[in-house]
Structure 1
Amino acid sequence: MADETAADEDAEGSDAGGGKKKLILFGAIGLVALLAIGGGAYFFLSGDSAAPRVVENEEGTEEVQKPVVFYDLPEMTVNLATDGRSTYLKVRIALELEDKAMIGLIEPYLPRILDAFQIYLRELRPADLEGSAGLFRLKEELLRRINVSVYPARVDGVLFKEILVQ
Structure 2
Amino acid sequence: MSAAPEAAGANEAAKEGGGRKTLLLLGLPLVLAAAGAGLWFTGILPPLLGMGHPQPAAEAVAAAAAPRPPAFFDMPEIVTNLNATGRRPVFVKLRSKLEITRAEDSAAITAAMPRLLDLFQTYLRETRPEELRGSAGTHRLREELVARANIALTPPPGSMQPAPRVTDVLFVEILVQ
Bucket of the pairwise TM-score, normalised by the shorter protein: 0.5 to 0.7
What TM-score does the superposition give when structure 1 sets the normalisation length? 0.61
User: How far is 1:65 from its partner?
Assistant: 2.7
More strand by share: 1
Letter in 1 for 2:96: I
User: How far is 1:98 from its partner?
Assistant: 1.8
Determine if the alignment matches structure 1 residue 127 to structure 2 residue 138.
Answer: no
**Moved segments of 4+, more than 2 Å:** none
Task: Look at both structures and tell me which one has the larger radius of gyration over its CA atoms.
Answer: 2
1:82-161 superposed matches below 5 A: 82-84=84-86, 85-151=88-154, 152-161=163-172
SS in 1 for 2:166: coil
Q: Point out where structure 2 has 5 or more consecutive residues left out of the alignment.
A: 1-61, 155-162
User: How far is 1:89 from its partner?
Assistant: 0.3
SS in 2 for 1:156: strand
The superposition leaves residues 43-98 of structure 1 with CA deviations (integer Å, 9 ceiling, x where unpaired) of xxxxxxxxxxx9xxxxxxxx533211111010000111111111110000100112
C-alpha distance in structure 1 between counterparts of 2:131 and 2:66, whole Å: 37
Letter in 2 for 1:97: I
1:39-118 superposed matches below 5 A: 64-84=66-86, 85-118=88-121
SS in 2 for 1:67: coil
For the aligned residue pairs, the C-alpha RMSD in angstroms reads 1.4
* Equivalent in the alignment of 2:12: none
The superposition leaves residues 88-145 of structure 1 with CA deviations (integer Å, 9 ceiling, x where unpaired) of 1000010011222110121110000000001000001110001101100000000000
SS in 2 for 1:65: coil
C-alpha distance in structure 1 between counterparts of 2:129 and 2:165, whole Å: 29
Of all paired residues, the percent bearing the same amino acid is 46
Q: Point out where structure 1 has 5 or more consecutive residues left out of the alignment.
A: 1-53, 55-62
What TM-score does the superposition give when structure 2 sets the normalisation length? 0.57
